[in-house]
């Protein structure tokens, strides 16, 4: 199907664009009353994500309501461990929780490599429904968590400030760690390829906990697996977003991907110098800037755009939009980007 708005894809590939495309991480939900109404109709986040028709509905809401240049499928990075045989729960106000975790080689034997099609059919069906209902208005982004971030949850069992159990595993059981990371990597490749076959126009890899590793460990236990994924996915453009991994920007510039996402702590000019000129940069407004009044939000957005001016750029926040931010302020950000020349 011919896309009516292909700005995102052209910007990712470094092609000429009339204006900078804009979308937001975590745009599908959280801030929108329309999303909260849909979520209230089911038992919670997991049921919503596993009901393809509803997942498709909340995926499209930001396109209709906010006017973004792309949709991103409503799902969660932790569907991969579940598909591998390690189910999770979403605890209200606490986040994800795994009743069982990986502690030893015997735990590893209970896991399988996900095929990404049958074991995650609800995501694949949601993508197909979304593509049909978008009718080519904007591209659809698929995504997965980076292997290190998925590993961190599978070892730790929940979110953490330090992920000390997961980091300890890298030191005490490096072979076991690499074995699990390789299983996650292959599962992720299978999953992303299934998303692409279903209609995803671009895929993003989220390394949410990149910044808690040191540079050497990040190269060994994260970057090498992200590299495998980037090399394996050749069908569509790829974006890598590694929060807090400023020390790895030069290495990221050598990945076989089109776009590198920057968080709001990454200085734009320096990031461009480290990454080079043949990658598109995505980001990187501080989400907290959207708490300001309209004039403040517009000024912050324009300041960001000024720093990216003349280079390959996809406008976004430096992390996901916070749930208590006023959707009207998000609209100000989006319109400021769209009107920027």
- Which residues, 6 or more positions from 79, have their beta carbon under 8 angstroms from its beta carbon? 49, 120, 123, 191
- Which residues, 6 or more positions from 203, have their beta carbon under 8 angstroms from its beta carbon? 141, 142, 143, 144, 192, 195, 196, 233, 236, 237, 238, 239
Establish whether 218 is a catalytic residue: no
Tally the C-alpha atoms within 13 A of residue 80's C-alpha that lie toward its C-beta.
31
Establish whether 39 is a catalytic residue: yes
DSSP string, 186-212: HHHHHHHHHHHHHT-SEEEEEETTGGG
Establish whether 312 is a catalytic residue: no
137 touches 5 (CB < 8 A): yes
Establish whether 19 is a catalytic residue: no
Catalytic member of 26, 137, 224, 302: 26
CA 235 to CA 250: how far, in whole Å? 24
Catalytic member of 19, 30, 137, 224: 30
Q: Which of 282, 225, 215, 217 is nearest to 250 (CA)?
A: 215
Encoded tokens for 228: 């495998």
- Strands of the 71-72 sheet, one edge to the other: 71-72, 140-145, 202-207, 238-242, 259-261, 280-285, 313-317
Establish whether 30 is a catalytic residue: yes
Angle between helices 174-198 and 224-232 (to 10 degrees): 30
Catalytic member of 35, 88, 153, 340: 153
Which residue do the tokens 């009207």 mark? 328
Catalytic member of 19, 76, 107, 302: 76
CA 251 to CA 255: how far, in whole Å? 7
Catalytic member of 39, 137, 224, 302: 39
Which residue do the tokens 């991994």 mark? 245
Residue 307 burial by Cβ neighbours in a 10 Å radius (0-12, 13-18, 19+): middle
**What dihedral do alpha carbons 113, 105, 159, 250 form, nearest 10°?**
-70
Beta-strand relationship, 95-97 and 313-317 = unpaired
- Residues recognised as catalytic: 26, 30, 39, 76, 153
């Amino acid at each position: 199907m011919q896309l009516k708005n292909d700005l995102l894809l052209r910007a990712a590939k470094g092609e000429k664009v009339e204006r900078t495309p804009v979308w937001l991480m975590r745009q599908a939900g959280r801030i929108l009353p329309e999303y909260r109404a849909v979520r209230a109709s089911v038992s919670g986040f997991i049921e919503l994500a596993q009901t393809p028709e509803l997942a498709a509905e909340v995926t499209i809401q930001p396109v209709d309501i906010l006017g973004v240049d792309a949709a991103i499928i409503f799902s969660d990075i932790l569907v991969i461990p579940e598909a591998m045989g390690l189910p999770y729960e979403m605890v209200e106000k606490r986040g994800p929780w795994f009743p069982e975790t990986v502690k030893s080689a015997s735990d590893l034997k209970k896991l399988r490599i996900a095929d990404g099609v049958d074991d995650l059919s609800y995501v694949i069906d949601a993508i197909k429904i979304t593509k049909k209902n978008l009718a080519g208005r904007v591209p659809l982004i698929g995504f997965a968590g980076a292997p290190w971030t998925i590993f961190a949850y599978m070892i730790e069992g929940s979110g953490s400030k330090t992920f000390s159990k997961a980091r300890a595993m890298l030191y005490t059981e490096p072979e076991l760690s690499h074995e699990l990371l390789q299983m996650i990597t292959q599962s992720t490749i299978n999953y992303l390829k299934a998303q692409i076959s279903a209609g995803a126009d671009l895929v993003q890899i989220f390394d949410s906990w990149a910044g808690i590793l040191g540079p050497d460990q990040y190269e060994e236990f994260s970057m090498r697996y992200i590299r495998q994924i980037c090399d394996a996915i050749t069908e569509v453009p790829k974006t890598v977003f590694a929060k807090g991994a400023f020390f790895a920007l030069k290495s990221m510039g050598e990945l076989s991907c089109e776009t590198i996402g920057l968080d709001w702590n990454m200085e734009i000019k320096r990031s461009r110098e480290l990454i080079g000129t043949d990658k598109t940069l995505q980001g990187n407004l501080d989400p907290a800037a959207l708490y300001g009044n309209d004039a403040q939000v517009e000024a912050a957005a324009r300041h960001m755009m000024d720093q990216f001016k003349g280079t390959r750029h996809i406008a976004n926040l430096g992390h996901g939009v916070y749930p208590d931010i006023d959707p009207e302020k998000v609209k100000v950000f989006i319109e400021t980007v769209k009107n920027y020349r």
